[in-house]
Structure 1
């Protein structure tokens, strides 16, 4: 810019600054005496605001730019404009406002039943003919849910008839899905069957939808065996999707369905792969029907497809699945057939920087079996100790007392015991993926072949016999795929070297009486006291175990309470504790001698009745000669007098 331009600009600025105040602002100030003041001029109050640039209100009147608004007036005007826009955008906006008012009244807890029913009837009457339109609103959908929860059966019929034709469209709506769940919960058998039939042909597409999958899984959860099979059938093959009559409840597994109907296995695998892959890629794995689909897919998938599923699931996705039966079995398959990297990823996902899932998994019915599987298979004991064992140590008492929390501990103390694990639990630990097992077996055979690359018929026959023997024994160790470490060494590292066993003994000493009287904790107490299976605790923790024996004997040595003073049963008279102590007398000579010397010697006559009599008779039934001879003199007299009933006395070898 030239010097002349600068001078002219400065001249203009100086001139403008020298103008009098009356010329600087042309906008008059509002005052009580000013006729343009809104508060004192009713004509201005009734005038509509005129919108300025970008929809912002400027002034009142017909394009009168001489009047400004206060902040409060601008807020009121903006609210009015927002309401007007909502009325234009939402056809049922006024109705939703009325329903919200009724909802605030009907959902109160202190309202009477009759008053609530009147409000519900009024709300349903207002919604009549428009339910399917307003069910997708975040406000009116809540009203409809409350109505379905408390309304009569006739009113539920009305709602069902109006919503059922629009079931599929509503199933994909974020808010309407909750209405459908309430509707399914209160549906009759015929209505539920009708809803499941309306899903026919759309199950696969809805399972790939984040919202629609919730409706499908809810219907699957409420359906009977035939209805569940109907929903699963179309996920297995195109034929089952097109022809409903092919589904039957007698063949539930996809392998059996293929054999019965003569379907092509390759076609079934391709159909299931097209459904499974998008579900895994989107991470929609929280539903029971999805877990069932995946576990069935693993039984027929080739090794490439099965390895893909394990790779996709190993990590945070699998942590969300372990709370169901099929989900926990999938987790066990991933642990068994996954690589070391995938196992590490899965275990690390159990504990993040924000929270740890180990405690909740250990307390879950099915999640606890996943931890038991990890203890039996994973060779990286340092990682397992750091992430899982340390978390279990922080809450040992609750785990020992819990029905499910004790399972991982019992798996370390006595692996695969049919006394502590059901047949279904042991079957879950023994599961494997057929295609991956064949691959592992072929690799093993290739390593063991002789230099000529041939095996004799006798060796092959012996291998087959060994395989049958391993599969038939329930208490035998499961076939471990991908594990190289000796099972006993793994148990020692996880249980003894990690310090878990020592901490477990301390907890048992602190809570000896409570654990022995507990229906669940008594099993852990027994296994710890005898030193675990194969005496794994005895070489290094014998002194700690002796402290435990002393603690139990001290509680047993307490005087027998009088009938009037009985607040709880004595440890020798309680049903659970007396049987556990009897087992310990039979299986642990050291405990038996400490108990007799400290608590029973000279007092056997007073304990010769009730549940304690079984403990006394165990001293004469034990295989240990020293224990038997120690108690024989006092107990034999009671037996001869008939004061003590001794049954099943075993003769010394």
Structure 2
């Protein structure tokens, strides 16, 4: 019995072990458990219909649009209103719509938006609707929109879409409304200028502002004291140095504040605005040498090209060229590559090119980047008011006939902390003060450090500074004009198009300079043959018989050309001789009337005795008969 019980216990243990074994613990033994799939829930009747009839492409798009609209409606509070306004906008913006119908639609749209304008102005759809409404609505409706938006202008100035509405409102604002908007900017000008979108609003307000309002915007960028006590600044004081001296502000404090304002703007590359250009110019007038050098280094890059489109920006460009070292000048010139033509035609940008041609010593780089690009559009440049200036600068530098006093002042402007002249004056004053201190027994230990100055009056630390380049100006001009082949190309253009150029208001000046050989005779003797050919080309035009049937005015009677020919007779004896022999000899009586008489009398007015001798025999009878007036008698009468 005991053995039987023992056997039963062993069997029970074996059965337990068999039941607890898993497939992973005994991989050789196959599982006998059958897989029973779970029962799926019965599909809904609608799902059955969808499975039976799948959506086509059009229905899928319609269904997706409905889902998108539903999401937008949950996310955007005024989504339904925006859709309604968009439908109205499609009607009101059409060109063929009647004025009365458009006014009704505009009024309807403004009525729907009333009280919610500032909330929906940031949308890319409703901002366009609002701009159209502001453009075509009545003045009373426009004033209502302005009043509703006035508390929210600052927030809207940071919005990529609302900014266009703000600009439109400013364009249509009255003087009082503009003044109110500018007052709301108080304390926020610097933060807005650091913002890519906000800076556009400040610049737009600055362009529309009066002189006093511009000053109000600028003062905030100069100093915290000026921001708080702007009423103490006289309206007539526009320069920062004058304001500082009037209020007794410390230069160091103002300079530090301006540096904090300027640096973040430059780091973000927001340099297109004229208000910043004005601030930079004022900063240059008070900043120390190190700070100015850092700014010039930052701007000596493609950033500068975006600045030279304004008057103050071009002045900054000239100063960067003037005071930049060789490496920085090279960066500026290379940055202009591909933009030379556009820059040359620009009213202010052309002055930066003029400065480069006058200052930079690396003539090979200038020839490669600037001269070659100018050569490809040479005829257009000669006939253009601004494009001719770089050419005239090479032919006759800094001539007051071709550059206004303001432009000449820009080219001669300087930065006090970097100017060699100012530094030499400062050093001489410091030496004087040191002598006076040394003679004072009570201040025996006092000493003022004077910077070491070389024989050429430049500081030892400033050996890299070269305000007008180290190369002789005449040598630089010869390399740019003669060695590069630029002058030869210019002469070819003048000879080929002599009739068109000499009759034009701007081309005549280039013709004159080229025909006289340029300032200091720079084109002689290398290009004498071509200059002689130009003289003959002008003389051949003058030799054409006078004809009333001709549609083109004769070169001796044209307002511009006859005055140019007269100047050439007075200033260039070689040309006078050729003109007389080929065109005027024996024909003076024919040309002694009208505008052409100026050309004839120029032979008698010439200071060259040979020129006078050429014409005196033929012109004396005309003077005796009263056809021509004796220029000598004129001079005596005036005396």
Q: What TM-score does the superposition give when structure 2 sets the normalisation length?
A: 0.85
Q: Is 1:393 the counterpart of 2:372 in the alignment?
A: no
The partner residue of 1:83 within 66, 69, 73 is: 69
Deviations 1:93-116 (A, max 9, x none): 111111111112211222222121
The partner residue of 1:624 within 608, 622, 625 is: 608
Shift of the 118–517 alpha-carbon distance from structure 1 to 2, 3 Å rule, reads same
Aligned to 2:482: 496
The partner residue of 2:397 within 405, 408, 415 is: 415
Give me the whole-angstrom Cα distance separating, in 2, the residues matched to 1:157 and 1:277: 38
Give me the whole-angstrom Cα distance separating, in 1, the residues matched to 2:284 and 2:476: 28
Give me the whole-angstrom Cα distance separating, in 2, the residues matched to 1:124 and 1:397: 54
Aligned to 2:12: none
Deviation of the 1:506 alpha carbon: 1.0
The partner residue of 1:297 within 283, 286, 291 is: 283
Alignment of 1:310-349 (within 5 A): 310-349=296-335
Check the 8 A contact 2:416/2:422 in 1, yes or no.
no
Check the 8 A contact 1:229/1:247 in 2, yes or no.
no
Deviations 1:484-541 (A, max 9, x none): 1100000011111111111111111122121111111111111111010011002100
Aligned to 1:453: none
The partner residue of 1:217 within 169, 188, 203 is: 203
Aligned to 1:637: 621
Aligned to 1:615: 599
Check the 8 A contact 1:184/1:219 in 2, yes or no.
yes
Deviation of the 1:84 alpha carbon: 0.8
Give me the whole-angstrom Cα distance separating, in 1, the residues matched to 2:60 and 2:517: 80
Give me the whole-angstrom Cα distance separating, in 1, the residues matched to 2:630 and 2:350: 41
Deviation of the 1:614 alpha carbon: 1.0
Check the 8 A contact 2:482/2:523 in 1, yes or no.
yes
Shift of the 648–220 alpha-carbon distance from structure 1 to 2, 3 Å rule, reads farther
Deviation of the 1:211 alpha carbon: 0.5
Shift of the 439–525 alpha-carbon distance from structure 1 to 2, 3 Å rule, reads closer
Aligned to 1:567: 551
Deviation of the 1:72 alpha carbon: 3.7
Give me the whole-angstrom Cα distance separating, in 2, the residues matched to 1:73 and 1:240: 66
Aligned to 1:601: 585
Aligned to 1:56: none
Unaligned 5+ segments in structure 1 are 9-22, 29-35, 37-42, 45-58, 450-462, 468-478
Deviations 1:543-590 (A, max 9, x none): 00111111111111111122xx25232110111111110000011111
Alignment of 1:136-151 (within 5 A): 136-151=122-137
Give me the whole-angstrom Cα distance separating, in 1, the residues matched to 2:103 and 2:590: 66
Q: Secondary structure at the match of 1:605?
A: coil
Give me the whole-angstrom Cα distance separating, in 1, the residues matched to 2:153 and 2:587: 75
Check the 8 A contact 1:359/1:391 in 2, yes or no.
yes
Check the 8 A contact 2:482/2:488 in 1, yes or no.
yes
Aligned to 2:15: none
Q: Secondary structure at the match of 2:547?
A: coil
Shift of the 405–649 alpha-carbon distance from structure 1 to 2, 3 Å rule, reads farther
The partner residue of 2:79 within 90, 93, 97 is: 93
Aligned to 2:342: 360
Aligned to 2:224: 238
Deviation of the 1:480 alpha carbon: 5.5
Check the 8 A contact 2:271/2:306 in 1, yes or no.
yes
Q: Secondary structure at the match of 1:278?
A: helix
Aligned to 2:567: 583
Give me the whole-angstrom Cα distance separating, in 2, the residues matched to 1:79 and 1:148: 32
Aligned to 2:524: 538
Q: Secondary structure at the match of 1:387?
A: helix
Q: Is 1:431 the counterpart of 2:420 in the alignment?
A: no
Give me the whole-angstrom Cα distance separating, in 1, the residues matched to 2:71 and 2:632: 89
Check the 8 A contact 1:613/1:645 in 2, yes or no.
no
Check the 8 A contact 2:417/2:423 in 1, yes or no.
no
Deviations 1:594-627 (A, max 9, x none): 1111111111111000111111111112122222
Tell me how large the CA RMSD over aligned residues is: 3.0
Shift of the 610–192 alpha-carbon distance from structure 1 to 2, 3 Å rule, reads same
Check the 8 A contact 1:621/1:649 in 2, yes or no.
no
Give me the whole-angstrom Cα distance separating, in 2, the residues matched to 1:594 and 1:148: 67
Give me the whole-angstrom Cα distance separating, in 1, the residues matched to 2:526 and 2:423: 38
Aligned to 1:187: 173
Aligned to 1:111: 97
Give me the whole-angstrom Cα distance separating, in 2, the residues matched to 1:156 and 1:312: 44
Q: Secondary structure at the match of 1:540?
A: coil
Deviation of the 1:117 alpha carbon: 1.2
Give me the whole-angstrom Cα distance separating, in 2, the residues matched to 1:497 and 1:382: 10
Aligned to 2:355: 373
Alignment of 1:443-482 (within 5 A): 481=467
Check the 8 A contact 1:298/1:433 in 2, yes or no.
yes
Aligned to 1:285: 271
Q: Secondary structure at the match of 2:594?
A: coil
Shift of the 70–436 alpha-carbon distance from structure 1 to 2, 3 Å rule, reads same
Give me the whole-angstrom Cα distance separating, in 1, the residues matched to 2:392 and 2:134: 47
Deviation of the 1:85 alpha carbon: 0.7
Deviations 1:334-369 (A, max 9, x none): 000001010000110111xxxx21111101111111
Q: In terms of mean alpha carbon deviation, does 261-270 or 237-246 score higher?
A: 237-246
Shift of the 496–146 alpha-carbon distance from structure 1 to 2, 3 Å rule, reads same
Aligned to 1:250: 236
Q: In terms of mean alpha carbon deviation, does 301-310 or 241-250 score higher?
A: 241-250
Deviation of the 1:648 alpha carbon: 4.0
Q: In terms of mean alpha carbon deviation, does 369-378 or 70-79 score higher?
A: 70-79
Deviation of the 1:65 alpha carbon: 7.1
Aligned to 1:509: 495
Unaligned 5+ segments in structure 2 are 1-23, 31-36, 432-452, 458-464
Give me the whole-angstrom Cα distance separating, in 1, the residues matched to 2:568 and 2:427: 45
Shift of the 445–413 alpha-carbon distance from structure 1 to 2, 3 Å rule, reads farther
Check the 8 A contact 2:499/2:541 in 1, yes or no.
yes
